[in-house]
A and B are shown apart, each in its own frame.
Chain A
Amino acid sequence: MTASQLTLERVKAGDALPELSVDVSATTVVLGAMASRDWRPMHHDHDFAVNRNGVKDIFLNTPNLAAWFERYVTDWTGPTGRLGKIKFRMKDSVFPGDTMVFRGRVEGAETDESGCAWVDLSLTLSVGDNMVNDCVARVAIPASEGDNPWKRHGEQWKP
């Protein structure tokens, strides 16, 4: 396989993930909502968002935010990274015209009793100085070259 592979020995607490910056357009918001089959009008109807929800514009929906966080994590791990758990808190919304910036940091790395290598990450999504989402993620990566978390099933997979 030619794709890059992040293994446990290359990770330590305090490591920073590369920053990701994305300019958000109305298309970003609508495409994300449609991809996640979210037909609620605040994600595609500007008038509804402004006059019913009282916000400044349509905004990114929750399932698509989860997809953005997944992409951010697996950009770093490569395809052998397997998400075990993700938890995020919505503090504010992301609107067209915003530039959203993802940042991340390794909080810990360990191997569980089954030999699965886990990395705990703290992630943020900010727009300017406003941190709109914070997130913690637990992702399995290969313990060493040749290991593959995707091959784990049942008792070998305890996220």
Chain B
Amino acid sequence: MKELTPEVEGWIGEKRYAVEGEFDVERGYVFTTCASVENGNPLFWDEKVANELTDGWIAPPTMISVWFRPHHWSPGRKEAAVPLQVHFDLKEKLELPEAVMTDNTITFGEPVRPGDRLRTWQVLRSVSDPKTTKLGTGRFWVIDVVYENQKGEWVGTETYTGFGYRRDSR
């Protein structure tokens, strides 16, 4: 098992990959998301209810990561962009070719609204000692993804627990 390097240890607690979303929050994806899970919550379909309860349209809170998933293609891009870059950096630096997500926690702040342009950054919170599971031997890591709107208001934090591993280490 490759040891943690000073470079990786230095990532812990560091704000990395601060970016702005590639497009404004918009209702088209809200409708598609609601359709995908048959969500008839009138907040997303009935303007009168939205105006009364949430002072206008909002997006379903669990859509928070949708606004940062990169386009599958865009002009000039040579390689596929990946969300949660810190996760992929860890896989590469720790030489752990396989990985799964085991836990996902989302804490929600201010509602996200059509027209918002969100910002995000990632913070590596921890990397475990080597562990062996039924999948293989590797390390668990915890990554926070923090989101805020264009007014600097906190709109949410996602916390992922990932397990990077090597199958042939068992």
Contact = CB atoms under 8 A, between A and B. Distances in A.
Contacts of B42: 3, 79
Interface residues of B, number: 37
Contacts, number: 109
Nearest to A38: B69
Contact of B37 (A1, A71, A87): A71
Interface of A: 1, 3, 22, 28, 31-32, 34-39, 62-64, 66-71, 74-75, 79-80, 82-90, 148, 150, 153, 157, 159
Contact of A150 (B54, B66, B109): B54
A64 to B, nearest CB: 6
Contacts of A37: 29, 66, 69
Contacts of A148: 53
* A interface SS class: mixed
Contacts of B32: 31, 34-35
A150 B53 contact: yes
A31 B36 contact: yes
16 contacts: A22-B38, A32-B37, A35-B32, A35-B33, A36-B33, A36-B65, A37-B66, A39-B72, A68-B37, A69-B62, A70-B39, A70-B60, A71-B39, A74-B41, A83-B62, A159-B107
Contacts of B136: none
Contact of A36 (B69, B101, B109): B69
B62 A63 contact: yes
A70 B61 contact: yes
B81 to A, nearest CB: 10
Interface in B103-125: 103-111
B3 interface: no
Given A3-B49, A36-B66, A80-B53, A74 B39 contact: yes
Contacts of A86: 62, 105-106
Contacts of B54: 150
